[in-house]
Amino acid sequence: MAATVVALLVLLGGTTLPSASGDPADAADPAAVARDGDDVGERRAFSVNRLMSMNDPTRNRGQVARQLRTLIKHTPRGATISIMSFYMASSITWPALKAAYQRGVDIRAIFYGGPEGKPLSGVSSGGVKLTQLIREGRSRGRRGSWVVWTTNAARGKAGKTTMHAKVWQFSKVGTTRKVTMIGSYNNSDAADARAYSAMVTVALPRVYDEVQKVFLQSRKDRKPPGNPQRRASGDGWDLYFMPSLPITKENDPVMDRLRAIPAAPETRMVVSMYSWQGRRGAWIARKLAAMVRAGSKLRVVVGPDVDRSVVRTVRRAGAKMEDGCWKTGNRKRPYAYTHDKEMTATWVKDGETHYAAWLGSDDWGNGGGGSQSDQVTIGLYNEWAFTRLNKLLAPQIAHEPDRLSPCHPLPSLRRSAGPPSLLE
């Protein structure tokens, strides 16, 4: 599997993307409209509250990478950037990350290193460059930065597992401390060119601290005692961390999420999912189908690795199905597809309307892209997150026709190559 991953991402890498305009929906946020300048005064004036962006390969390619670049450029000397990512190969973010290290920002990174836990140049060209940069710095006596290449999953066990999380943290950005970005975006030019992927950024100190606990545990690159699944929650948010060994209907965070939502006509849900399969996928599909039969409204964007049985289960219940993988007509990039692992919901309980949005790296399955691998998912319980994510998902929902035909969006992707979520 590791060889397949390397070969495929060598094929996809090396694309330099043109710049594109930012999303005007973010214009109300100071962090979204600030310039990408790199002077000390501008970093001191910069602040972050909350942001949410979507890489749209058809209309707004590279949006998440550019937002990351802005945050990196406004990280001051002496601050720390922590990265937990399946891979890093973006020509947009790498120059900013290199410049940050050179001006005195500490960078700590955890990347997927395959079965042998080694740097994978074909998968993570930026990660390899970062490793070399930090190695050179350490040879001159600089400390505080490091890179770990995990052996498959950092907190899991050997087998078809992977360090699949997509998290960036900043101890300080401008004047704002403890900033965390979480979602489904793989940091690469290839992903920018093909995959819809969303990320949310929050300046919540407890979120930062809880993610850091798991980040530092992941650095050890070994399974902790017991079930490594972890959860945390606070005012208006919650987090869960995989792997879960085992995963059951009783301890599945997604099932807990659905149990907390009334199955009633006032309930409206949207799901965009790259991969949804296996035993876990089946029990989530059955639960959603039961909610739809009870009157809830459900719309599903069906990604390339959603099992046909899942589609049948929720469609027969009355859910609206949307095509999450389609031909573009472009010879170099023949497909656009959802790489999202997102859900929104609104419901009424005790006369009060509730809103929620969930973003992260957890595909709804048992295997390498799901419960057996390192994942981070955040839930935000407010109207802003619900409305913003629905707006970002709208282009996928608006796409026609919805044929839901089998889709192999990457040039050499076949079922025999392993879970597609490990490849993109």
For residue range 351-366, what is the model confidence (pLDDT) as tens digits? 999 999 999 999 999 9
Q: How confident is the model at residue 25 (pLDDT cuts 50, 70, 90)?
A: very low
Counting residues of the chain whose pLDDT is more than 90, the rounded percentage is: 78
Around Cβ 141, how many Cβ atoms within 10 Å?
A: 6
pLDDT number for residue 41: 67
The pTM score is 0.89
Mean pLDDT calculated for residue range 333-340: 92
Q: What is the mean pLDDT of residues 68-87?
A: 98
Residue 278: phi and psi, rounded to 5, are 75, -175
pLDDT band at 411 (very low <50, low <70, confident <90, very high): low
How far CA 112 is from CA of 89, 259, 266, 422, in Å, comes to: 13, 33, 42, 10
Average pLDDT estimate for 253-282: 98
Token pair 């000390």 is found at 40
Query: Hey, which residues does 52 pair with through a beta bridge?
Result: 200
Three-state DSSP state, 332: coil
Please tell me the predicted confidence (pLDDT) of residue 96: 98
The label of the residue with tokens 């060598």 reads 10
Q: Where is 120: in which H helix or E strand?
A: none
337 pLDDT band, cuts 50/70/90, is very high
Does residue 17 have a pLDDT over 90? Answer: no
Alpha-carbon distance of 301 to 195, in angstroms, equals 13
pLDDT digits over 269-317, tens only? Answer: 999 999 999 999 999 999 999 999 999 999 999 999 999 999 999 999 9
pLDDT-derived band at 419 (thresholds 50, 70, 90) equals very low
Distance CA 79, CA 424 (A): 30
Look up residue 267 and give its two tokens.
Answer: 């309930």
Q: Is the pLDDT of residue 412 over 90?
A: no
Is residue 192 within 8 A of residue 370, CB to CB? The reply is no
- Dist CA 161 CA 164 (whole Å): 8
pLDDT in tens, 97-144: 999 999 999 999 999 999 999 999 989 999 999 999 999 999 999 999
- Average pLDDT of the chain is 89
